[in-house]
C-alpha cells in the first residue's frame, strides 16, 4: 500500500548535482554568528565525571585551545571526527547523512524557486535588472526559500539519522541561529549552530548521533513556527516530494519520520495461555484488532471517530496473576497482524531503568518513549510495567525528582491540552499496587483491566495443565481442557457479575440509591447514583464520568472483527478510510442500561478498591509509627531512670 501516492519524485540526479556544494559546506565555511552566541570554555557536565565537550582536531598544527568556537570558520567534518585519527563508523554515518541532507535541502529549494517567480527574480537581480516594484516580492520569496531550506534540512537529517539512534537522548536547547535572508545564509546559520551543539553535547558516538537527531527536530520546529506567519509559501506547502532512496516524503512543514518497526525480543503468548482474566483478555484481544483499523493516509482510526477506542488503560492485580502474560499476548497479536499487513510496529516499555538521577533526564526518557510510540507512521504499543515504582506520587516525599518528572510527562501525554488521539497506538499501565499511583495519573487510564488471574476450579486445572507441559504421563481426568477459557461465555458471565457492585463501600451506595429510586433505568437515576458515589468518595470526579462513558462506547463496539480481515488485508485493512468506517458502523451494537450500570460499577469498584488499599496502607504505617514512638519513649524512660 502506498502512503505517498500524491507525492512527486525528487529525481536522484537533482540531489546528486548538489553533492559538491553540500560536501564543501560540511568540510568548512566562514560564518560570523548574528543571533546565536558562541560557546566558549568547557561545557557543563551532564553527570559527575562525564564531560560533554567533544574534542576536535585543530587545523593549526601545535595549537591548543579550550574554546568550542572556531575562529577559522565552521569545520563540521573535523568537529564530528573529534580527536580520532580514524573516523568511526558512527562518525562516518553522521557525515554522510549531513551531506545527503544538505543536498536534498538544496534540491528542494531549487525546485521551489523554479515553481515560483524566485528563479527569474534571482536572474534579474544578478543582471542588475530587478525592477524596484518587485524588490519586496523578491525579499519575501528569499525568506520563504530560507524556511524551506531549513525545514527540509532538519526533516532529511532526522529521517537519515533515525536508523542509527539508540537509547541515548540529548537535550540541546533551542536553535538560535535561524537566518532567513536566503537559502544559503540559512544553511550557514543552521550548520554553525549544529557545530556548536556537537561541541557541547557530542562527547562520544552515541551522544553525537543523539545530538544531531535532536538538533534536526528542533530545527524543524523552529522553521515550522516561523512559516506560520511567512508569505509566499503556497508552492511548498501545497506540494509533496518523495525521495525514494531514503524513504523520505517532504510534505510542506510536516515532519516525515521513517517508519521503523521494533524488533521484538519476547516470548509471545496465545490467548488460551492467559488463564482467567476474562474481561482483560477479551478487551486486549479486541484492542489488538481495533488498532489495526488505523488509516495511514487519513492518520486516524475509525474507532476513534465512532468513539470506541482505548487510548490508555490500567491493568492491576496481585503479583503472579498474569499481567506480563497479558502484555506478551497483546504484543504478539499486534506484531502478527502488522507482519501480515506489512505495517511497521513499534513496541516499547518504560522501565525503572529510565529513572535517572540527573535533573531532567528522566523526563527526557519519558518524552522519547511517548514520541516513539505515538509516531503516526507506525502502529504503536507502549507499556509502563510497575508504574507505581516508575511514576512518583505528587506530594510523596519518598518519590524522587526523576519519578516526579515522569509523572508530569505521562499526565500531559495521556490527557493534556495538546494530546491528539489518532488511534494508531495504545498505552498500558500495569501495577501490583495501583493505590500507590498518583490519583490524577491513574484517572487518565480510560479503561481498567482487572488482572485477577485464575478464579474457578476449571481455571486452576487449565493453568496446571498448561504449566506442566506435555512431557509427562499424568492423565487429564474428567475435564475439557481450556473450555472455561472460551472468551464469549466467560466474558458474558464476568460482565453480568457487575450488575451489582463488588466492593462493600460502593454496594452500600448502590443499595441506598436503588431503595430510594427503584430500578436505575433513566439518565436521571443513573446521574443520581453517580452523585451518590461522589459523596462517598470525593475523588470520583468528572474525569471518572468521562472514562465510564468511554468504556460504554467501547461496549457498543463489543464485536469481534473477523480474523479473515486480519489474515487477508485487502478485505478491510487496505480499504479507504470511509469504507472501513462504514464496515465498522454496520457492526456497532446499541447501548443498553445494563451496559451503563455494569461500566459504572466496574470503574467505581476499582476506585473504591484502590482507596481502601491506600487507606489501609496509611493506617498500617501510622500504627507502625505510633508503636515505634511508644517503644522509643519506653527506652528513653528506662535510660533516664
CATH class of 271-618: alpha beta
58 pLDDT higher than 50: no
pTM exceeds 0.75 for this model? no
What stretch of H or E contains 384?
A: strand 379-385
In whole angstroms, give the CA distance from residue 94 to residue 600: 54
Point out the least confidently predicted range of 44-58, 398-412, 430-444.
Answer: 44-58
What stretch of H or E contains 364?
A: helix 361-374
Contact 225, 154 (CB under 8 A): no
- pLDDT band of residue 600 (cuts 50, 70, 90) is very high
What does the pLDDT read at residue 43?
A: 43
Q: Which of 118-122, 350-354, 458-462: highest mean pLDDT?
A: 118-122
Q: What share of the chain is helix, strand, coil (3-state, %, to 5)?
A: 55, 5, 35
444 to 313, 535, 571: CA distances (angstroms): 8, 21, 35
In whole angstroms, give the CA distance from residue 57 to residue 83: 5
Contact 81, 87 (CB under 8 A): yes
What stretch of H or E contains 295?
A: none
Contact 150, 186 (CB under 8 A): yes
- pLDDT band of residue 503 (cuts 50, 70, 90) is confident
What does the pLDDT read at residue 1?
A: 36
295 pLDDT higher than 90: yes
Point out the least confidently predicted range of 59-68, 274-283, 360-369, 382-391.
Answer: 59-68
Pairing of strands 312-316, 425-431: parallel
According to DSSP, residue 426 is labeled: E
pLDDT > 90 fraction of the chain, expressed in percent and rounded: 41
Average pLDDT over residues 536-545: 84
Comparing C-alpha atoms, which of 84, 358, 40, 32 is closest to residue 199? 40
Average pLDDT over residues 494-515: 88
CA atoms within a 13 Å half-sphere pointing along the CA-CB vector of 63? 12
In whole angstroms, give the CA distance from residue 227 to residue 151: 10
What does the pLDDT read at residue 616?
A: 62
Comparing C-alpha atoms, which of 370, 391, 397, 367 is closest to residue 381? 370
Contact 193, 44 (CB under 8 A): no
60 pLDDT higher than 70: no
User: Please, where are the H alpha helices in 174-259?
Assistant: 183-201, 205-227, 234-237
For residue 388, count CB atoms less than 10 angstroms from its CB and return exposed for 0-12, middle for 13-18, buried for 19 or more: buried
What does the pLDDT read at residue 489?
A: 59
- pLDDT band of residue 145 (cuts 50, 70, 90) is very high
What does the pLDDT read at residue 6?
A: 60
268 pLDDT higher than 60: yes
What does the pLDDT read at residue 53?
A: 40
220 pLDDT higher than 60: yes
Residue 249: phi and psi, rounded to 5, are: -115, 125
Question: What average pLDDT does the structure give for the chain?
Answer: 84
User: Domain residues of the chain, as ranges?
Assistant: 11-251, 271-618
In whole angstroms, give the CA distance from residue 199 to residue 503: 60
Average pLDDT over residues 425-443: 88
Average pLDDT over residues 82-104: 89
Residue 171 Rama label (left phi>0; alpha psi -120 to 50; beta): beta
pLDDT in tens, 329-381: 899 999 999 989 989 899 999 988 888 777 777 888 888 889 889 888 889 99
539 pLDDT higher than 80: no
What does the pLDDT read at residue 69?
A: 47
108 to 239, 247, 250: CA distances (angstroms): 11, 16, 9
- What value, to the nearest 5°, has the Cα angle with vertex 552 and ends 550 and 557? 95
Amino acid at each position: 500500500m502506498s502512503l505517498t501516492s500524491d507525492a512527486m519524485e525528487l529525481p536522484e540526479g537533482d540531489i546528486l548535482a548538489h553533492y559538491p556544494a553540500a560536501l564543501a559546506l560540511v568540510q568548512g565555511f566562514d560564518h560570523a554568528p548574528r543571533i546565536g552566541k558562541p560557546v566558549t570554555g568547557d561545557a557543563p557536565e551532564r553527570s559527575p565525571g562525564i564531560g560533554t565537550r567533544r574534542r576536535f582536531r585543530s587545523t593549526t598544527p601545535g595549537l591548543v585551545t579550550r574554546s568550542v568556537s572556531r575562529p577559522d570558520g565552521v569545520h563540521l567534518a573535523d568537529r564530528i571526527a573529534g580527536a580520532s585519527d580514524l573516523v568511526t563508523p558512527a562518525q562516518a554515518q553522521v557525515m554522510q547523512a549531513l551531506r545527503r541532507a544538505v543536498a536534498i535541502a538544496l534540491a528542494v529549494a531549487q525546485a521551489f524557486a523554479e515553481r515560483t517567480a524566485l528563479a527569474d527574480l534571482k536572474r534579474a537581480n544578478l543582471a542588475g535588472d530587478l525592477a524596484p516594484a518587485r524588490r519586496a516580492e523578491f525579499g519575501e520569496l528569499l525568506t520563504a526559500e530560507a524556511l524551506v531550506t531549513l525545514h527540509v534540512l532538519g526533516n532529511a537529517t532526522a529521517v537519515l539519522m533515525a536508523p542509527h539512534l539508540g537509547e541515548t537522548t540529548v537535550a540541546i536547547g533551542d536553535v538560535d541561529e535561524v537566518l532567513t535572508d536566503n537559502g544559503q545564509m540559512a544553511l550557514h546559520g543552521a550548520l554553525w549552530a549544529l557545530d556548536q551543539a556537537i561541541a557541547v553535547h557530542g562527547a562520544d558516538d552515541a551522544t553525537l548521533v543523539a545530538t544531531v537527531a535532536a538538533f534536526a527536530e528542533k530545527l524543524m520546529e523552529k522553521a515550522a513556527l516561523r512559516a506560520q506567519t511567512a508569505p509566499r509559501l503556497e508552492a511548498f506547502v501545497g506540494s509533496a516530494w518523495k525521495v525514494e532512496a531514503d524513504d523520505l516524503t517532504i510534505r510542506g512543514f510536516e515532519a516525515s519520520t521513517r517508519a521503523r518497526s521494533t524488533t521484538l525480543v519476547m516470548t509471545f503468548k496465545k490467548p488460551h495461555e492467559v488463564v482467567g482474566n476474562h474481561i482483560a483478555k477479551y478487551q486486549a484481544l479486541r484492542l489488538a484488532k481495533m488498532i489495526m483499523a488505523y488509516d495511514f493516509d487519513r492518520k486516524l482510526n475509525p474507532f476513534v471517530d465512532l468513539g470506541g477506542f482505548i487510548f490508555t488503560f490500567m491493568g492491576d492485580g496481585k503479583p503472579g496473576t498474569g499481567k506480563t502474560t497479558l502484555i506478551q499476548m497483546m504484543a504478539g497479536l499486534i506484531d502478527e497482524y502488522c507482519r501480515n499487513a506489512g505495517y511497521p510496529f513499534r513496541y516499547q516499555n518504560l522501565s525503572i531503568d529510565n529513572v535517572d538521577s540527573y535533573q531532567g533526564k528522566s523526563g527526557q526518557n519519558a518524552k522519547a518513549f511517548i514520541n516513539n510510540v505515538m509516531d503516526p507512521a507506525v502502529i504503536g504499543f507502549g507499556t509502563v510495567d510497575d508504574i507505581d515504582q516508575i511514576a512518583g506520587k505528587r506530594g510523596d516525599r519518598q518519590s524522587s525528582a526523576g519519578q516526579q518528572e515522569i509523572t508530569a510527562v505521562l499526565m500531559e501525554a495521556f490527557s493534556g491540552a495538546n494530546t491528539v488521539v489518532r488511534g494508531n497506538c495504545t498505552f498500558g499501565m500495569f501495577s501490583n499496587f495501583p493505590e500507590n499511583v498518583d490519583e490524577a495519573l491513574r484517572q487518565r487510564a480510560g479503561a481498567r483491566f482487572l488482572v485477577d488471574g485464575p478464579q474457578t476450579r476449571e481455571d486452576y486445572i487449565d493453568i496446571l495443565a498448561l504449566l506442566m507441559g506435555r512431557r509427562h504421563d499424568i492423565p487429564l481426568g474428567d475435564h475439557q481442557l481450556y473450555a472455561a477459557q472460551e472468551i464469549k461465555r466467560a466474558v458474558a458471565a464476568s460482565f453480568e457479575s457487575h450488575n451489582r457492585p463488588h466492593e462493600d463501600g460502593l454496594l452500600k451506595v448502590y443499595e441506598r440509591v436503588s431503595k430510594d429510586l427503584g430500578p436505575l433505568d433513566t439518565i436521571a437515576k443513573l446521574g443520581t447514583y453517580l452523585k451518590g458515589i461522589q459523596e462517598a468518595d470525593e475523588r470520583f470526579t468528572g474525569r471518572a464520568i468521562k472514562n465510564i462513558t468511554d468504556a460504554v462506547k467501547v461496549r457498543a463496539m463489543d464485536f469481534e472483527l473477523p480474523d479473515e480481515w486480519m489474515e487477508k488485508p485487502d478485505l478491510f485493512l487496505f480499504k479507504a478510510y470511509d469504507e472501513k468506517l462504514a464496515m465498522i458502523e454496520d457492526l456497532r451494537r446499541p447501548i443498553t442500561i445494563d451496559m451503563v450500570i455494569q461500566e459504572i460499577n466496574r470503574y467505581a469498584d476499582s476506585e473504591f478498591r484502590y482507596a481502601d488499599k491506600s487507606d489501609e496502607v496509611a493506617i498500617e504505617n501510622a500504627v507502625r509509627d505510633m508503636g515505634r514512638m511508644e517503644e522509643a519513649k519506653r527506652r528513653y524512660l528506662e535510660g533516664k531512670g
